[in-house]
Amino acid sequence: MDEFRLQKAQQLRDKGGQPFASHFDRSHLLGEAQKQKDGKSVSIAGRIKLWREMGKVIFAVLQDQSGTLQIAFRTDSLSEEDFESAKNLIDLGDFIGIQGERFTTQKGEPTVLVKEWTMLTKSLRQPPEKWHGIEEKETAWRQRYLDTMSNKETFDRFMFRSNFIRLLREFYWKNGFTEVETPTLVNTASGALATPFSTHHEAYDMDVFLRIAPETFLKECLVGGFDRVFEVARCFRNEGLDPSHLQDFTIAEHYSAYWNYEENMRFTEKMLPYLIKELTGSLIVSIPDRDGNLIEVDFTPPWPRLNIRDALFSACKIDIHKMKTANDLRKAIEKNGIKLDVDINSLERGNLIDQLYKKVCRPSLIQPTFLTEHPIDLSPLARRNDDNPIITDRFQLVVGGWEIVNAYSELVDPVDQAERFLHQSDANKKGDSDAHEKDDEYVKALEYGCPPCSGWGMGIDRIVALITQQTNLRDVVLFPLMRPTENTPNTIQKTEPNSNTLLLQHTNYGHLLPAAHGLLEEHAKNIKAHLIAMGATMAVFAKKFGGDENTWKVAGMLHDLDWDHLEKDAEEHCGMTLEKLLEPIEAPQELLADIRAHYQEKYSAEHPLDTQLRKTLFCIDELTGFIIAVTLVRPSKKLEDVKVKSVTKKLKDKSFAAQVNREQILKCEELMGLELNEVIEITLEAMKEVAEEMGL
């Protein structure tokens, strides 16, 4: 806050004025006043964008949503007091209202001669320097109001987005669609393959999810008698953040009774060309590719069609129809030397195909292209193809390497749907966090009968980003979610932990799993087996307690990452060395705090054991190390030969592995609510699953 501006606000009050007015009656927006004839009286308002004092004349520029307009304060049109007050009390960034007369200067500039002026809002901070706009991206995202007030290009981009959604709605209405609203808080996370956000409903005392997509509710509308419905919906997916993905985003979804996916393709070829032509004046537009280079794209229909099997075979010589299981596909991916951006061991066949396609095919699809014939296990809500039961009647529209539209002929057979939900639920239990869970209420609705139909979804953020030539989705979202800075702490008030909040307070960082593997390879040598064991064990306990498995796994894998660098200096453990090691992956503060919490001797006050993740990490840290010690004294030195009773017996022998803190292990009953033998059994089985990777 500027002290001088604050003093000016007080001076206005001392004069009987009000630095923060309640209203102002405008006769014209600035863009309208600019077009009026000379001599026309106008009442206008706006923010002071420019201020030039020239003796007995002051020229200023006002700004509002419609544009800018020059105004002139002159001593021959104002009293001396009003002129001096304007000169001394008005600053850049202030909102003022004026009444005056439209005229044109000798240089041909439309101007309003000020007859009366009123301070509407006194700005207490200096606006961006010279109004050249915010150039630093993070500032633009965090303080979008500065970006839009000072950068016309940014303001116009968000006006474009608004007009795009308005035209989209009008197009739907003209084609017989009814707009509906569906729930954001849901009992079951379904509607798409993705990891959900969870929260707790205090009034009902139950855990709920933020919707992944509105799909199932929109189809229930068709069950209930609606013919064509659409929604412009906010959706939430608790997944990785990158320039082409946001965890909270906007999509348009529609469903039409009696259509199939072919009719939806034709509808898409009508909709998008109409919107683009109306908004840009042409069907040929320049968009950024994945590297940010502008490329010319022609949206003139019809668009080519390409099935996903042929696309993958052409790109990497893998025939997915011959890969019957996830293991078959994993072996083919490894044989071809393809490195995916995810842990392939945690995914089932459908999501493996999806990740493979995104890696080797999608970046090369520049011109609008329909990708068709997706595998059945990648499309749990899509209708099975009549001629080939292993594929679905589905398409995606890809432009510039970005998926813009996803649509299919809908599955309306409740028996088939229930079976697919069961398969997805099993995959979820095996560790595929993107897989669907069961949705019994939706299956019940289908049992009453749903007409044949086709559904369609389009990412609003993505299509707007492409057309406005942005390479990061946050540039088309007015107020993207950002991690709080030190000066803007998270203001959520946490209540005392209980069984429901121990998990729900936690921030997920599972998207760092691939990076965590890289850090282990680079920095862990002597400690590597322990970190692999911890990662695997934490993931299993996450599943048991309902936490995010990848997040818990990352915490386990990285909790002792600095140990090999410290020469066993326990006092320095989890300190600056760890921070430096985690810098390359931009680790969130939550991860660092979770890791430090396991070292209670040093960090108990700052990072208490107040979440289930932290309690589990604290207890099993010593246990995994102890089990490794037990393994190494076995004749075979193999984990497969270690039994639970062997571990419990050695725990009682205080002379064996004396450096292990047994009290920390025994805390499991108090902190985790599980008996010691159960914790040992779960930990041991998890370690056996990664025994080969551990070298045991």
pLDDT tens string 452-479: 999 999 999 999 999 999 988 999 999 9
Residue closest to 696 by CA, chosen among 648, 646, 636? 636
Provide the 3-class DSSP secondary structure of residue 223: helix
Residue 435, pLDDT above cutoff 70: no
CATH topology of domain 157-304+374-476: BirA Bifunctional Protein; domain 2 (3.30.930)
Amino acid letter, 97: G
Look at residue 242 in the predicted model and tell me its pLDDT: 75
Residue pLDDT, tens place only, 197-248: 999 999 999 999 999 999 999 999 999 999 999 999 999 998 777 788 889 9
Question: Where do the DSSP E strands lie in 105-247?
Answer: 110-121, 178-179, 185-186, 197-201, 206-210, 228-236
Give the right CATH number for 3-130 from 3.40.50.1370, 2.40.50.140, 3.40.47.10, 3.40.50.620: 2.40.50.140
Asked if pLDDT for residue 59 goes beyond 90, the answer is yes
Q: What is the pLDDT of residue 131?
A: 47
pLDDT band at 567 (very low <50, low <70, confident <90, very high): low
* Cα 67 to Cα 542: distance, rounded to the nearest angstrom: 54
- Tell how strand 228-236 and strand 178-179 pair up: parallel
Calculate the dihedral angle through the C-alpha atoms of 583, 585, 590, 595, rounding to the nearest 10 degrees: -70
DSSP H or E segment with residue 68 = strand 67-74
pLDDT tens figures, 316-340: 999 988 888 889 998 999 898 888 8
Residue 395 — very low, low, confident or very high, per pLDDT cuts 50/70/90?
A: very high
pLDDT in tens, 361-386: 888 899 999 999 998 887 777 899 99
Residue 323 backbone dihedrals phi, psi, to 5 degrees: -95, 90
Question: What distance in Å separates the CA atoms of residue 356 and residue 369, rounded to the nearest whole number?
Answer: 18
What is the H or E stretch that residue 427 is in?
helix 414-429
Name the residue ranges covered by the structural domains of the chain.
Answer: 3-130, 157-304+374-476, 308-366, 501-694
> Does the pLDDT of residue 497 top 50, yes or no?
no
- For residue 105, the model assigns a pLDDT of 94
Q: Taking residues 105-127, what's their average pLDDT?
A: 94
Q: Report pLDDT digits (tens) over 268-286.
A: 999 999 999 999 999 999 9
What is the model's pLDDT at position 433?
Answer: 53
User: Is 511 or 356 the better-scoring residue by pLDDT?
Assistant: 356
Nearest-CA neighbor of 421 among 454, 451, 380, 375? 380
Is-above-0.75 flag for pTM? no
Closest CA to 400 of 292, 289, 293, 286: 289
Q: Which of 329, 462, 347, 446 is CA-nearest to residue 406?
A: 462
